[in-house]
Amino acid sequence: MKGDVEPAVGEPTPISTRRAASMIGVAPVQEEILYDPRYSTRWNRHDYPSPLARWNAHPEYEIHLITQGKGSYIIGDSVGRFGPGQLTLVGPGIPHDWISELAPGEVIPGRDVVLHFDDMWIRDCIRRLPELGHLKGLLEGSRRGIEFLGETSSVAAALLLGIGEAEGVERLTTIFRLLDVLAAAPEQECRYLTEAGVEDNGDTREDDAVGKALDYVHDNLAADLRLRTVAGLVRMSDSAFSRHFKRVTGQTFSHSVRRMRLAKACALLEQTALPVASVAHAVGFNNLSNFNRQFLSEVGSTPNKYRKFAKLRN
């Protein structure tokens, strides 16, 4: 499906469009969304390029705003051009990426503003609060990917930006106002990006070698996980596996291991009373200081604060 902005006849196809189109059929990174326990959703703003800006998919809904810069997007099987102000809703499991063409060393500050929210959370809200029943249609439509246009896009963008500055009840009400605006968008201000819904592929393993590697890591998080061991498991040389893993997932093997360990640590902190040192050991960190440092860098709080806020939330 073509996007709104196409090169003029006779002009070469932009590099970012060719890069976006080349991702079709490539297994996306299965992203782990780590929540701050103070909030029921995750709001984030990041520069481009960023480790977060990559061909990825996840079980959460994503509302995505481009604040500046231009380039090409790929959402499912849809490739098109984007510019400042583009606002989209991507449903669970739909692979997506926004690619900008940059000069060497160039950075677009704060290009992406993103809100993630869980399907179970929003459907539980709808079940408990009948006033939110009209959001069901929006959720179903998101499985095709929706780009919002006109006044809907402008109003929604302002609300999305406002979420990052809000706390407590104000933050929650701003989220619901944003969803209400999107659900009420007139037909002419909505553009579906794929012809048919994309099934949730959050748990699929389109690449056998990477799938085997990730399954092994998941089952052995407490072990001393070495690239050489996993490469041997899938019958590849160290260098070949390293390149292949990075090409398929968009991140290094060591970075993937670290994120999986920290995701498991979050679950243990929420669901058990294990001391932090025991949690660190259970997910493969033998140095508590290193665990605390990595946890703070990735999650945004210390393990003790994470557990405290998780208890308050639950």
Annotate 162-201 with b (16+ C-beta within 10 A) or e (fewer): bbeeeeeeebbebbbebbbbbbebeeebbbbbbeebbebb
- Would you put residue 105 in left (φ > 0), alpha (ψ -120 to 50) or beta? left
Secondary structure E strands in the chain = 29-30, 42-48, 56-57, 61-66, 71-75, 78-82, 87-90, 96-99, 108-117, 146-148, 190-192
How far apart CA 92 and CA 200 sit, in angstroms, is 6
Overall fold of domain 15-192? Jelly Rolls (2.60.120)
Output the CA–CA distances (angstroms, integers) from residue 266 to 55, 214, 280, 296, 304, in the order listed.
Answer: 24, 18, 10, 12, 11
Q: What is the pLDDT of residue 201?
A: 43
- How many residues are present in the chain? 314
- CA-based nearest residue to 45, from 21, 72, 64, 19: 64
For the sheet with 61-66, list strands across it: 42-48, 108-117, 61-66, 87-90, 146-148, 190-192
Element at 171 (helix H, strand E): helix 168-183
Pick the CATH number of 208-313 from 3.40.605.10, 2.60.120.380, 1.10.10.60, 3.40.50.2300: 1.10.10.60
Strand 29-30 relative to strand 78-82, pairing: unpaired
In 68-149, where does DSSP find H-type helix?
Answer: 119-128, 135-141
In a 3-state reduction of DSSP, which class is residue 97?
Answer: strand
Show Cβ contacts of residue 181 under 8 Å, excluding neighbours closer than 6 positions.
152, 155, 156, 159
The domain locations on the chain are 15-192, 208-313
Find the largest Cα–Cα distance for the chain: 65
Q: What is the pLDDT of residue 66?
A: 97
Q: What is the pLDDT of residue 14?
A: 67
Record the tokens describing residue 292, joined without a space: 């605390």
End-to-end CA distance of the chain: 43
Element at 303 (helix H, strand E): helix 303-313
- CA-based nearest residue to 116, from 160, 80, 84: 160
Instruction: For the chain of 314 residues, list the mean pLDDT of each consecutive stretch of 10.
Output: 40 65 74 85 92 87 97 88 96 92 90 96 94 95 94 98 96 98 96 68 54 85 91 90 80 85 84 92 94 86 84 62
Q: Do the domains spanning 15-192 and 208-313 agree at the CATH topology level?
A: no
